[in-house]
Structure 1
Amino acid sequence: MEAVLKNVSVTVELLAVAARSNAVSQWDEQTLSRAFHWAKYCEHIYSRFHNNTAIRRVMEQQLQITNQSLRHVFPGYSHVSFSDLRRCQHVLLVGLLNNPELPITIMKTLFKTPVNIINNDFEDVTGICSHLIRCKSACKVLRPLSALSAVGADAEVQGEMLMERLGAMLSQGNELCRVEHFLCSVLQDSEGAVQHMCLVIAAALLTAKGSAEQTASQDFLLEWLQSRHNLLHNLCTMLPSAILKELAKGHQKFRDSFCHMLKKWATEMEYSITEGEWINNSTNTTVTFQKLTEFFLLLFEACPSVRRNTEEEMRLFKISDGDFDVQGLSVWGDLLSELNK
């Protein structure tokens, strides 16, 4: 496990270099191929361990350490979560294409038409962009999509279908209990499919509001979510940061629920003297103090207006804890300290 953690950490560092360092100007095709090899390795690690709570927690802790060190090296660095490992090759590709130092030779390799394809997979990285372009072109021909998101095509299609069905049921005057039963039937937690279900819900909520009916459907879904704490917990912990941020920006009800959940997680923290850090004592979540801090920063970035009231509330909680400026005495005081660094 130690070797796996080291490999994942090194790959995350590689992603940061690919996106933000001028060292990319020295890359050749062999370096490029090795980079995608390690990205694919992380995708394999994710698929193997994403349902193992104990191992996932250890990996999330390692990622937090790596992300923290990378933030000091690369200004504006966006952290990589455990969930992001499932699309590590995509993250690498986007980072490279956005790096102005990427050599033209590497760019040509990425867009070159591939020669050898085995089982729908390329023997090397040649033509990755061309392959993506063909797939996106096919999607456009088969089913025009006005705003592709990070949730993936399958989840986006299912999310739109969910909104259409929900809108039809509400407009037909169905009893609310029947509509709720429908949501429970299609969005129930099923082992091994929880993350996909979260992506479907996110896709539904991020569907562009084209009518009052669609707005009503999203409001109903949000109200239903507020009474499903386990499902809301899964949404907050399993969705990629970019999607969480979009949901917080676009829906006040989600924003309020997200903020409430963060404060709930904070109240469940206890300071471990032996480990020298805040530990969540709840069996329902593996959210660490560092992850909690990142969630608050994400919320504040998505909705700056939330920050003032939330921090003022934290100050009041800190005062009720004795208002000491000593680490480990108040989770609210330590949160404020981290948030204002």
Structure 2
Amino acid sequence: MEAVLEQVEQLPALLAVSRSALVRDWDALTLDRALEWGRYFQHLHDRFRTRPRLREALGRRLRRGQPSPLLGFPHLGRCPQLLGLALLENRALPPAACRRLIRGLLQPAGAEAGPEPRSLALLARRKAASRLLALPSGPPRTPEGMAPQLRTEAQLLLSRLREEVQEAEPAGEAAGRLRWLSGVLEELPQPRAFEVVAAALLLLLRPGSDAEQAGDRGRDGKSLDRNQASATGDEGVAGLLLSWLLGNLERFSAFCLFLPGSLLVSLAGHYSQLSRPYLDLLTGWGSRLLYDPLQGRWVKSCLDKAELSWEELRERFTCLCQGSALLRGQTQAALKLLKARDGDFTVCGLSVWTDLQMEVEEYLRKEAKR
């Protein structure tokens, strides 16, 4: 077993070499040997995936020599694809070795181990999809109104995260999965990453209707078990996305600035982990507004800072008060407490929280009369 562990420890180096200029010296024999190692690592994954102790040992050894532990046990099962894609994108690979690589990838799926096709066509489709999904779309509003490209990219991310949650070792893998997710999302421009995460969280709100689950429950117990397993997996996926958002205050602030208030209220209404941090963020922004007596209005203390204006802050609090009963209660209680801490004034212009509470309540009264 120690020999197997030592071999697995070499996977990061193999992938690093396949992306480097060293491949310019590769001949057909060297290429075949590298591809054979990829298939061997895939075989190890298939052999040990149902044995938790050995999975954990392999994953731990795989991460040993990495400066940033982005690779884990699940990557062994995708080693042929990872290696093939790295070599296809490496222009240093000699033409003869490249032709050999393409011929190897074009082998029929039945000629290779594993249930999934490992062909060049699959890699090409994934590459083409990544190019297509780079097109701009704008923030998602609802699952139904989501742009097709954004929906597809969010679905791909969810599919990949579900694999990570299902296959990852139980011991200490949460941090590894979070590092992997951070690495993926950091490759996207920040506004695009926020769009994808918001879209993924929206899609998780409707993995299957209650009617569908009730129908499955009536058909057989196995369907019920599958639904329960799926729900548990989606909880883990949502937890990863929320951990990525809330793990960095600057990132979460940018996320909340970028997305419209109505969408944030929808997310906060379904994901309770978001409601309090979002309310705290709005409180911090509001506390930095200053009253300008010449203009008769609240203004930003630093115009160059990316924070909300008075009008935007009022709109965000109004949206929260129009959300679920829980959100509305939290928001109104917070405004009342902030107003009291600020002196409990009833005159405009002395406390931002007095003015905000008065305007929000006036707006809600008007809406109630309609």
1:199 counterpart residue number: 195
- Shift of residue 232, structure 1, vs aligned partner: 1.9
Equivalent residue of 1:302, what SS?
A: coil
User: What is the alpha-carbon distance in structure 1 between the residues aligned to residue 295 and residue 332 of structure 2?
Assistant: 26
Q: Does 1:323 align with 2:319?
A: no
Over the matched positions of the two proteins, sequence identity in percent amounts to: 26
Rounded Cα–Cα distance in structure 2 between residues aligned with 1:276 and 1:189: 45
Match of 1:219 in 2: 239
TM-aligned CA deviation for residue 307 of structure 1: 2.3
The answer on whether the counterparts of 2:201 and 2:267 sit within 8 Å (CA) in structure 1 is: yes
Q: Secondary structure at the match of 1:271?
A: strand
Structure 2: which amino acid aligns with 1:328? G
Give the 3-state SS of the residue equivalent to 2:322 in structure 1. helix
Equivalences, count: 193
Q: Would you say the 8 A contact 1:150–1:243 is kept in 2?
A: no
Equivalent of 1:172 in 167, 175, 190 = 167
Answer yes or no: is the 8 Å Cα contact 2:321–2:331 preserved in 1.
Answer: no
Structure 2 residue matching 1:279: 3-state secondary structure: strand
CA distance in 2, matches of 1:286, 1:189: 25
Please tell me the residue identity of whatever aligns with 1:180.
Answer: L
Match of 1:149 among 144, 148, 159: 144
* Cα distance change of structure 1 residues 202 and 340 upon mapping to structure 2, 3 Å threshold: same
Amino acid corresponding to residue 346 of structure 2 in structure 1 = D
Structure 2 length as normaliser, TM-score?
A: 0.48
Match of 2:70 in 1: none
Runs of 4+ residues over 4 Å off in structure 1: none
Q: Aligned in 2, Cα 1:320/1:183: closer, same or farther, shift over 3 Å?
A: same
Q: Which residue of 2 aligns with 1:159?
A: 154
Residue matched to 1:183 = 181
- Structure 2 counterpart of 1:43: none
Kindly state the Cα deviation for residue 235 of structure 1 after the two structures are TM-superposed: 2.4
Describe the shift of the 1:321–1:255 C-alpha distance in structure 2 as closer, same or farther (beyond 3 A).
closer
Alignment of 1:228 with 2:248, yes or no, is yes
Query: Structure 1 residue aligned with 2:274, among 254, 270, 276?
Result: 254
**Residue in 2 aligned with 1:310?**
331
Report the TM-score when normalising by structure 1.
Answer: 0.52
Tell me if the contact between 1:293 and 1:339 (Cα under 8 Å) persists in the aligned partners. yes
Residues 1:155 and 1:230: Cα distance change in structure 2 (over 3 Å): farther
Which segments of 5 or more consecutive residues in structure 1 lack a partner in the other structure? Answer: 1-146
Report if the CA contact (8 A) 1:248-1:303 is conserved. Answer: no
Q: Which residue identity does 1:249 align to in structure 2?
A: G
Higher radius of gyration, 1 or 2: 2
Structure 1 residue 294 and structure 2 residue 294: aligned?
no
**Structure 1 segment 34-183 matched on structure 2, within 5 A:** 148-174=143-169, 175-183=173-181
Q: Which runs of 5+ in 2 are unaligned?
A: 1-141, 209-229, 363-370
